[in-house]
Amino acid sequence: MDPLETASKRPHLVDVSELLINAESELFQNIIASHEFVSPGRLQFNSPPPAYKNGVPDKESILEVVSEQFKDRRVRHLKGACTDRSNMKDRLWNLAMFLALKTHLKPLECSYEDPDLTEAEKEFLNSEGVATPRPQDFANARIPSFEDEKLVDIFFMVSCSAFVINNFLLANWNTSELKQAILINWDITLCDETWDRHHGLNAIREASQSLRTGKVSSNCWYYYKSSERWDPNSVFATEFRSTDLPQIKGQFPDFKWCFQPSYLSKLSLAFENLCFLESQDDPKSLHDVNSFDDVTWNLDLIRDHYRQIGFTQEYLHDLETLLEGRTIRRIRILGSLADVDSLFIQRQLAFILNIKDHFGITEIISQEPEASDFDKGYLNSVGVATPPHDNCDQPEEGLGTTRLLSSTGSSFLLLSEAVSLRQMKTV
């Protein structure tokens, strides 16, 4: 059913329909602009875009590329998952693309998981034949068996955390069902750079390496530029051709989907409001940093804002639940705390100091190789030691297997069995 026809029968859904129609229009304009950006002679990307009809990646041309990959196969289940809670525009763009695929591919079953779906959005999706189950971390998301080899399941995870994608791959690694799955994402590529933020995720790493052997194939459907990146992302359709994928050695990491509260999507707008207040005399205005007092002023505002919206209460409760009665012995911060005069680092530091105060932690260590004397001086003033950077190659005494708790922007927190809390920088 056409979205506008559906919405016209339920007036309260008109806004949702119009949002998605506008989002689709914006996305395809974005895709066309990104295609010009990645054309030969501009930049050398990991994978070239496909040859589109008339050379333009409009909606019709992209769906034609999609059809070529499926040929005579039928989609059993189109499953969408979104965990990107930082940007509403990107979320709607990818939901619009998901619905375009649903209309084009006509799957037998369709569902979409997103913790930020409003009740109106859920009702709209339900009216379009899209189920909206409770979001999961995919750690136990085994693909059901297939009765027909011509059926495939699609997992549309373009706006999905790499940790959640890694969970999904681990749950289905080397199974016959994975051979009949297509993963839509931008994480599995031939990229060799060791700085890549997914380099340490074992299943994504093994899948990327298997591209070279032909056991995994990955076809580029389109490029688009997300709101938070300067370069376009390449969206791939990845298929796992073999049940003889490389064995993943060692204990599987226990990636927990945590510290992603319902308030997170509201943070950016709130901080924009703080930043754009012009008067330095306004009690809600952040200060340009010229002294330790300016950093403290900003931290107090940020921590107060976290409390007002419930962010602090929710992530501290999540952490208490995961601790299961254990105590945090130490917070070791690895990277991510250079430039304490920047708003981003102040937000990270506010997050850490709330944990410190709540649990009464007395030992906090920061090893940021690029920290300035000003950075180190301020950290020392709030009880954070700053010993020399040691390349993180020294073992922690008495620690067991480390569990990943959360992803927060460009950093993530780790909780070990002992327990030590770490914050590590990702790029």
Taking every pair of Cα atoms in the chain, the longest distance, rounded to a whole number of angstroms, is 69
Question: What is residue 392's predicted lDDT score, i.e. its pLDDT?
Answer: 64
Residue 185 has phi, psi (to 5 degrees) of -165, -175
State residue 340's pLDDT score. Answer: 85
Is 353 found in the same domain as 228? no
248 lies in a domain?
A: no
State whether 42 and 99 are in the same domain: yes
Among the residues of 276-338, which ranges form H helices?
292-309, 311-323
Q: Are 345 and 235 members of one domain?
A: no
Using CA atoms of 133, 137, 140, 145 in order, give the dihedral in degrees to the nearest 10.
Answer: 50
Residue 75: phi and psi, rounded to 5, are -85, 120
- What is the model's pLDDT at position 25? 93
Residue 245 lies in a domain: no
Give dist(CA 60, CA 80) in Å, integer: 21
Given a contact cutoff of 8 angstroms between Cβ atoms, the answer to whether 368 and 375 are in contact is yes
Contact 62, 30 (CB under 8 A): no
| The pLDDT of residue 395 | 66
Partnered with residue 112 across adjacent β-strands are 80
3-state secondary structure 5-61: HHHHHCHHHHHHHHHHHHHHHHHHHHHHHHHHHHCCCCCCCCCCCCCCHHHCCCHHH
**CA distances (Å), origin 317, targets 53, 113, 258, 303, 345:** 53, 23, 10, 16, 23
In a domain, 363, yes or no: yes
3-state secondary structure of 91: helix
Query: Quick check: 397 and 418 in contact, CB under 8 A?
Result: no
Same domain, yes or no: 283 and 390:
yes
Distance between CA atoms of residues 416 and 422, nearest Å: 9
pLDDT tens digit sequence for 397-424: 655 544 433 333 333 344 333 333 433 3
Q: Which residues of the chain have pLDDT under 70?
A: 1-14, 39-47, 84-87, 187, 189-200, 227-230, 250-284, 335-337, 391-427
85 shares its domain with 203? yes
Q: What is the pLDDT of residue 413?
A: 43
Number of domains in the chain: 2
Tokens of 318: 């999540």
Are the C-beta atoms of 197 and 25 separated by less than 8 Å? no
Q: What's 222's DSSP letter?
A: E
Domain that holds residue 320: 264-425
- The CATH number of whichever domain residue 201 belongs to comes to 3.40.50
Q: Domain for residue 247, yes or no?
A: no
Residues 217 and 319 in one domain: no
Say whether both 269 and 183 belong to one domain.
no
Domain end residue (candidates: 208, 240, 272): 240
Do 175 and 279 fall into the same domain? no
How many C-beta neighbours within 10 Å does residue 41 have? 5
Q: What is the DSSP string of 389-426?
A: P-TT-SPPTT---EEEEEEETTEEEEEESS-EEEEEE-
Put the strands of the sheet holding 420-425 in their side by side order: 364-367, 330-334, 420-425, 411-416, 402-408
Retrieve residue 271's tokens: 């901080």
Same domain, 297 and 196: no
CB 171 within 8 A of CB 138: yes
Q: Is the pTM of this model over 0.85?
A: no
* Contact between residue 216 and residue 234 where contact means Cβ atoms under 8 Å apart: no
Q: Which helix (H) or strand (E) holds 238?
A: strand 233-240
Q: Give residue-wise pLDDT tens across range 185-223.
A: 886 765 544 344 455 678 888 888 888 888 999 889 999
- Whether 255 is covered by a domain: the verdict is no
74-81/109-113 β-pairing? parallel
Distances (CA, A) of 53 to 27, 49, 50, 65, 288: 18, 12, 10, 9, 51
In a domain, 361, yes or no: yes
